[in-house]
A = this chain, B = another copy of it.
């Protein structure tokens, strides 16, 4: 049997674990051109809350269907010449133990020690950070870069990449423990705990010369606070809007838009990592090299068992994770 997580109630306000339901279905069967996959790790992504709000840059999540999600999986059976049983792949399996997928929608992965790195700093979240930081933020040595949700899967890599580029890096995260980790383990120059500090005042102190680049994972009030402290010709990479995802109304608009864009001549760009699919292999290789030479650190926040996925996502939207949150679906892997 195939254990799966279905989205049973389309959330109106905050997402709850009880909006999901476990279910068992017969093992799926493959046809020519398809592969049977066994899920190893599920990537939990805050953005998946958005897909419940309707069609965006991808299909909406549909009620009573298997919850959408990216996974690292192993090929169990293949009716495609390019994939062989045993191969490790990345695929949008959704939240289920087994999945049958067209081989063309599956990407083979190499390396990974440990394996879960391929779903974290050497995977979707590292890649996202890489694109936003190197293509949009483009920090020069000595510049000041701010990263929000800095202790999350994307933010932790974004900040480290900015450090590697010679920038002064300020992370915004929720709680003392996360801030301490950013400072002591990841080498951030400053960390702001938005739960206990006034972000505007703390930014003014941590960025006395203003902010040259901002990697934005949250939108809302933090976007506003940063905006007023941007330097002329600054760059803002809009990666996510955590502050709005889990809310029935989008909240008030950001002040200073577009007036400050003009006055400061800012470049503000939204992006989605999948737009850079043509560079994916090259980016993965670069991240892998940085990780294996110890220049980049990974951190995962693993919950065990597919039944933990609903509460894991709900907790993630509340900011409970440090590092990239994954669900270990196959208990036998490390």
B219 touching A259 by the CB < 8 A rule? yes
In angstroms, Cα B327 to Cα A251, docked, is: 45
A269 touching B266 by the CB < 8 A rule? yes
A239 touching B262 by the CB < 8 A rule? yes
Nearest B residue to A264, CB-CB = B270
B275 touching A258 by the CB < 8 A rule? no
- As for how many copies of this chain the complex holds, the number is 2
Cross-interface CB contact of A263 among B252, B263, B270, cutoff 8 Å: B270
A256 at the interface (CB under 8 A from B): yes
B265 touching A272 by the CB < 8 A rule? yes
- B interface footprint on A293-331 (CB within 8 Å = 1, 0 otherwise): 000000000000000000000000000000000000000
In A236-275, the 8 Å CB interface with B consists of 236, 238-241, 244, 250, 252-272, 275
How distant is A39 from chain B, measured CB to nearest CB, in Å?
27
How many chain A residues touch the partner (CB < 8 A)?
37
How distant is A147 from chain B, measured CB to nearest CB, in Å?
15
How distant is A247 from chain B, measured CB to nearest CB, in Å?
11
Nearest B residue to A267, CB-CB = B269
How distant is A7 from chain B, measured CB to nearest CB, in Å?
20
B256 touching A250 by the CB < 8 A rule? yes
Cross-interface CB contact of A275 among B216, B253, B254, B265, cutoff 8 Å: B265
A56 at the interface (CB under 8 A from B): yes
A261 touching B265 by the CB < 8 A rule? no
How distant is A329 from chain B, measured CB to nearest CB, in Å?
28
Task: Tell me which of A50, A263, A272 has the highest count of chain B C-beta atoms within 10 A of its own C-beta.
Answer: A263
How distant is A17 from chain B, measured CB to nearest CB, in Å?
25
In angstroms, Cα B320 to Cα A178, docked, is: 56
Task: Give A contacts to B, CB under 8 Å.
Answer: 50, 56-57, 216, 219, 223-224, 232, 236, 238-241, 244, 250, 252-272, 275
What are 26 A-to-B residue pairs whose CB atoms are below 8 Å? A50-B263, A57-B264, A219-B258, A219-B259, A224-B253, A236-B258, A238-B258, A238-B262, A239-B262, A252-B253, A253-B254, A253-B255, A253-B257, A254-B258, A258-B268, A258-B270, A260-B270, A261-B270, A262-B272, A264-B270, A265-B272, A265-B275, A266-B268, A266-B269, A267-B269, A268-B269
